[in-house]
Structures are given as C-alpha cells and as structure tokens.
C-alpha cells in the first residue's frame, strides 16, 4: 500500500509510541488523526511535529466511555470524512495482584475494551470496497508464555487484544489486522522508575538497551505498507524473550 495521503487514526498519540507513530506516518505523507484523552499539551506537540511534515487533526475522547468514542467518530466524519487506517495504541499499565478486581476491570476497560469499541466504530465507517488496515499495540506480556505475575490483569488484557487481532483478521478479505508487541520501550511510563530497575530491565535484553518508540513506529508503518501481512503479532523487544534469566 502506498501510504501517501492515506488517513490514519492513532489513539493515545500525545506521547510515547503513539506520538512516534504519528510522526512516522506524517513522514510517509499520511493525514494523521491524533487522539488524546487528557494530555492536550502533548497532543499539541504531536500535532506540531505532524504539521511540519503533513496534515494533522486533534480529537479528544476517553476511550473507556463508548459515547465519547461515538462522538469522536462523528466529529472525524464531519472534519475529515472516512479514514483508511487505525492504530489502537492507547492503554495503561494498571498495577494490581490477581485478587484485585478493580485492577482487572480497569485494565480490561483501558487496554482491551477501548480497542474493541474504537475498532467497531472504524469498521462501521470504513469504505467496504477498499483495503483497510488495523495495527493493535499489545505487549510481550500479552504472549501466551510471556505474562507477568506482577502485572497479571494487564497481561491478560493484552493477551485478549492479541487474540482479537488474529481472529479479526479472518473477518474480511479487504481488511488487514496485525499487532506489534513491544518489550521494554522508553516511554514516559518509565519516568518514575528507578535507574536501578531500568538497569535490570536492560540486562534482560540481548541488545542491552530499551527499544526506542521510533523503532516501534517504524515497524507499524512497515506493516501498513505490506498488503500480504495479516493476523500476525510482530514482537519488537530487543531479544527479551531470548534470554534465559528473565
């Protein structure tokens, strides 16, 4: 697929992987729809970067609320019409052990059901005769053998998103659905993590460093450019799962 002038919605694009993906898409000449929830300053910074390369628009919504998603899509239809590509990136790692039901609910609402509801609206508005594509951002914790006991509910929610990716890819010959599963990626989530803990994480990788958000973004745009990839979970973790001492 030639990405020039294609319209793409990227959720959670005010920072981190979402921001890097928005910039990478703009560099390909795409029209970028930048979603954010609360971080308006970050979203404006993303828009500034996008606008220096292509066209961009801002859209605000709390993706744990279906009505706000519906309102956002109505606004998108009014301002830019239908769009071709979707990146379900928005999410958060909410801590809580196996017995913490609030953590279970919050993780699934934030990391799974938000993507489900955005995808439902995307499929409603898409042009059925043209090729449409979705990339979901999961996690190495979402792999069947990669779940973290420390982040139990988060791992399960990301696993559900990975399974949805593979199953949804079977739905329509004009739809390509894939996922990228990042490992330790240097996003704002790590700002409050101690340097000692970061060193431990780095030591678990073959490349001996964190993955850069731009490397995840590069993977996402490459998936969009290739029309033969569908139903796949692409891991970008710097060799995390190759180490035996995790």
State the catalytic residues. 154
Kindly report the CA angle at 29 between 131 and 185, in degrees rounded to 5?
85
Give the torsion through C-alpha atoms of 184, 190, 193, 197, to 10 deg. Answer: 10
CB 4 within 8 A of CB 225: no
**Would you mind telling me the total number of residues written for the chain in this entry?**
246
Q: Could you tell me which of 80, 78, 20 has the C-alpha nearest to residue 56?
A: 80
The DSSP annotation for 95-127 comes to: ---TT-HHHHHHHHIIIIIHHHHHHHHHHHHS-
């Amino acid at each position: 697929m030639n990405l020039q002038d294609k319209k793409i919605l990227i959720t959670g694009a005010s920072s981190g992987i979402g921001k890097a993906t928005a910039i990478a898409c703009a560099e390909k000449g795409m029209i970028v729809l930048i979603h954010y929830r609360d971080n308006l300053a970050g979203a404006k910074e993303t828009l500034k970067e996008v606008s220096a390369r292509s066209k961009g628009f801002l859209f605000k919504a709390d993706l744990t609320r279906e009505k706000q998603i519906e309102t956002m899509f109505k606004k998108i239809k009014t301002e830019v019409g239908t769009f071709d590509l979707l990146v379900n990136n928005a999410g958060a790692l909410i801590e809580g052990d196996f017995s913490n039901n609030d953590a279970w609910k919050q993780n699934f609402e934030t990391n799974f059901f938000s993507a489900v509801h955005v995808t439902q609206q995307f499929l409603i508005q898409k042009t059925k005769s043209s090729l449409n594509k979705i990339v979901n951002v999961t996690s190495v914790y979402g792999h069947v053998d990669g779940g973290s006991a420390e982040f139990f509910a988060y791992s399960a929610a990301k696993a559900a998103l990975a399974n949805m990716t593979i199953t949804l890819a079977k739905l329509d010959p004009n739809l390509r659905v894939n996922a990228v599963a990042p490992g330790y990626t240097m996003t704002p989530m790590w700002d409050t993590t101690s340097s000692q803990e970061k060193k431990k994480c780095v030591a678990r990788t073959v490349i001996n460093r964190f993955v850069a958000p731009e490397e995840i973004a590069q993977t996402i745009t490459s998936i969009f450019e290739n029309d033969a990839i569908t139903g796949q979970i692409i891991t970008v973790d710097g060799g995390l799962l190759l180490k035996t001492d995790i």
